[in-house]
């Protein structure tokens, strides 16, 4: 093997540049040239890439956030939104263009740094004869057959710190503080931050919640003289006999990541709401 490529796809997460650096240095130690596609699968589709070198553009990135080769979280090349000349919108499978780009460029292996959607596409490329190595990156920790994804521990730490800060405010003002955290259909961030941050209730996607049980818990604390409560809610949580809250669907929900949940902006891993006792 003499030539490999890397792409980072999906939302950014802590550790991306460190992983890129590790791949490049390992490749160079084995006399392998390393390249990076710009902006994830978008760069793969457009055949836009740069050479990566440990003594050049990779030399000082280990402490930097984000990713030096960029990322894309809306480029599903297996089901890509395309606007035709007449203005009509349709979804096309353009994965074969990517396959040909990889072969024409002479890349013998593709490293895909990304989460659930990224690795599904990586799997599908491997089924088309492309050698792929998937490196699980997501704060959601929802990649199958993976114990811990890089980026997850940082998200839990940030959410836990938010809970620590909320406790004093909630107690001082006799509030019910609701902390919404990310995770889509997986409740790992919610569950672990709730445990480590001492929350009173945790609502996760895997277990539909009964709002009456939440109220009972809060009222029982109130009866014991605890005039505040902390509730952590996953963005994908849903009530019993209810459905998940969806903001919109792209292409009727077909393809990877074409369902947008109704949640806070993904620029932050949490959102805070304050609730008066009378609202409970």
Q: What's 136-170 look like in SS3?
A: EECCCCCCCCCCCCECHHHHHHHHHHHHHHHHHHH
- Whether 60 sits among the annotated catalytic residues: the reply is no
Q: Which domain holds residue 68?
A: 3-136
Clarify whether residues 14 and 129 are in a common domain. yes
Q: What is the pLDDT of residue 268?
A: 45
| Among the listed residues 133, 135, 162, the one whose alpha carbon sits nearest the alpha carbon of residue 148 | 135
Please state the pTM of the whole predicted model.
0.77
Helix or strand holding residue 205 (H, E) = none
Q: Answer whether residue 229 is part of any domain.
A: yes
Clarify whether residues 56 and 117 are in a common domain. yes
Clarify whether residues 7 and 131 are in a common domain. yes
Residue pair 68/20 in contact by the 8 Å Cβ criterion: yes
Clarify whether residues 111 and 86 are in a common domain. yes
Round to whole Å and give the CA distance between 280 and 267: 29
Clarify whether residues 168 and 234 are in a common domain. yes
> Can you tell me which residue has the tokens 């990076």?
36
**CATH code, 42:** 3.40.50.450
**CATH code, 262:** 3.40.50.460
Cα 259 to its chain centre, rounded Å, is 14
Clarify whether residues 92 and 130 are in a common domain. yes
Clarify whether residues 129 and 214 are in a common domain. no
Residue numbers in the chain where pLDDT is lower than 50: 264-269, 277-278, 280
| Among the listed residues 72, 28, 71, 73, the one whose alpha carbon sits nearest the alpha carbon of residue 51 | 28
Clarify whether residues 203 and 120 are in a common domain. no
Round to whole Å and give the CA distance between 254 and 243: 18
Clarify whether residues 16 and 73 are in a common domain. yes
Q: What is the pLDDT of residue 266?
A: 39
Say which of 116, 140, 142, 200 is annotated catalytic. 140
Q: Answer whether residue 148 is part of any domain.
A: no
**Phi (first) and psi of residue 137, to 5 degrees:** -120, 115
For residue 146 the two structure tokens come to 């993976």
What are the pLDDT digits (tens) for 125-175? 999 999 999 999 988 998 888 889 888 999 999 999 999 999 999 999 999
Q: Answer whether residue 45 is part of any domain.
A: yes
Q: What is the pLDDT of residue 205?
A: 93
- Residue 267 buriedness (CB in 10 A; 0-12 / 13-18 / 19+): exposed
Q: Answer whether residue 228 is part of any domain.
A: yes
Q: What is the pLDDT of residue 245?
A: 66
Q: Answer whether residue 54 is part of any domain.
A: yes
Interstrand relation of 259-261 and 109-114 (parallel, antiparallel or unpaired): unpaired
Q: What is the pLDDT of residue 264?
A: 42
Clarify whether residues 175 and 232 are in a common domain. yes
Cα 218 to its chain centre, rounded Å, is 31
Domain count, the chain: 2
């Amino acid at each position: 093997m003499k030539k490999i490529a890397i792409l980072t796809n999906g939302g950014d997460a802590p550790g991306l540049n460190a992983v890129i650096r590790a791949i490049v240095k390992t490749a160079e130690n084995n006399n392998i040239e390393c390249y990076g596609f710009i902006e994830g699968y978008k760069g793969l589709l457009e055949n836009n890439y740069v050479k990566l070198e440990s003594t050049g553009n990779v030399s000082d990135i280990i402490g930097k956030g984000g990713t030096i080769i960029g990322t894309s979280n809306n480029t599903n090349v297996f089901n890509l939104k395309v606007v035709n000349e007449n203005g009509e919108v349709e979804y096309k499978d353009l994965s074969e263009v990517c396959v040909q780009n990889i072969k024409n460029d002479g890349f013998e292996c593709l490293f895909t740094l990304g989460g659930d959607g990224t690795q599904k596409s990586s799997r599908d490329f491997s089924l088309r004869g492309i050698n792929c190595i998937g490196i699980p990156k997501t704060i959601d920790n929802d990649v199958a057959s993976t114990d811990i994804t890089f980026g997850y521990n940082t998200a839990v730490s940030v959410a836990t710190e938010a809970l620590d800060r909320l406790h004093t405010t909630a107690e001082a003002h006799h509030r019910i503080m609701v902390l919404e955290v990310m995770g889509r259909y997986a409740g790992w961030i919610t569950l672990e931050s709730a445990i480590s941050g001492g929350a009173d209730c945790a609502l996760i996607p895997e277990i539909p919640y009964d709002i009456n049980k939440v109220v009972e818990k809060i009222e029982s604390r109130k009866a014991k003289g605890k005039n505040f409560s902390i509730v952590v809610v996953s963005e994908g949580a849903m009530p019993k006999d209810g459905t998940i809250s969806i903001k919109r669907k792209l292409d009727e929900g077909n393809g990877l990541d074409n369902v947008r949940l109704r949640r806070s902006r993904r620029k932050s891993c949490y959102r805070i709401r304050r609730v008066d006792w009378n609202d409970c």
